[in-house]
Amino acid sequence: MRNKIVLAAFAGGLFALLGGCGSGGTDSASASTGSSSGSSSSSSSGGASGRTFSGSAPSSELTLPAGSQGFVRTVDGRSVLYVVPDPAPTTPQPLMIMLDYLGGNPTFMADLVLAGAHAAKGEVLAFPAHEGLTWNNGVYAAEIFNNPQTDVVFLSDVITDATTNLPVDPSMISMTGFSEGGFMANLFACDQPALLNGYGMVGAAQVSTTTCETGTPLKMMMFSGSDDNEVPYGGFGTVYAAEKTASIWETIDGCSGNEATTDLPVVVNDGTSVVQHQIPACNVILYQIVGGGHDWPDGEVTPSTTLLGTTTQNIDATQTQWEYFTGS
């Protein structure tokens, strides 16, 4: 999220111009996480398969507390940053793939979601790099991105690489993203649901032009701020409203009944509150962040993030999604 201030206003302009969205950030490109030399501190065996977590060291800009470590693998010529526990797990683990925002990169995204602190608690997180300014996620006009499926192929290859070369459980792979990354996670879940057991979106929603494969139900979770001016809670242009997006996935998941709303406890008086929307027993959950902006709930707060609204401290989007997708 460093050096993000200049592009924050630029992101808002793009949203108005293209129907797109995203927080700002300085795009250091995928090389920012792959430019460092060295090796991961992990040398542990990977269970019966003999796999290990290994790869080049992450960018020196990445903030990692004790109990966590990072390394980079290369897939299709792009960097994929992994932030994992230290020592690394030796048996197949769940993996949550996290996609960054407009102008971001894997290191910025890992810092935004406080990946190191979560890895120290046992979570295994991956941060793939997009090409250029953002993802080919189907949001922008065809003349700008002619092939929105390009990154679907890349992310499929990331999953193949992870399940082939790392101790990752292929039945426990989830994907989430922030802003443009959230739109990309939605597109991937619609196109390749069999590769995931769940997906999430933060500051994003479904686009009317995205068609979903409806035969594979998924756990689905989204976070949307009532004061999000980049991706409004009520929708904008071809971007559906948050509640409309949730209803699409309720249909895909075969849910029936009346939605219940639950006010979560306010644990921090930061001007926000959280309302959970869910049909009982349905695997689709929408968290409405009342008073929240275009931010990652309980993520990194900097002078830059405040330009996009209040970051709620009343729910942790990283931890909540991890626990939901892994059943932990």
Q: Please write the tens of the pLDDT for every residue from 47-57.
A: 323 344 556 66
* Position 54, amino acid: S
Report residue 26's pLDDT band, with 50, 70 and 90 as the boundaries.
very low
CATH superfamily placement of domain 5-326 = Alpha/Beta hydrolase fold, catalytic domain (3.40.50.1820)
Instruction: Tell whether omega for the bond before 167 is within 30 degrees of 0, i.e. cis.
Output: no
H/E segment holding residue 123: none
- Range name among 26-35, 91-100, 122-131 with the lowest pLDDT average: 26-35
What global pTM score does this model have?
0.84
- Residue % of the chain over a pLDDT of 70: 79
327's CB contacts (< 8 A; 6+ apart) are none
Dihedral sign from CA coordinates of 317, 322, 325, 328 = negative
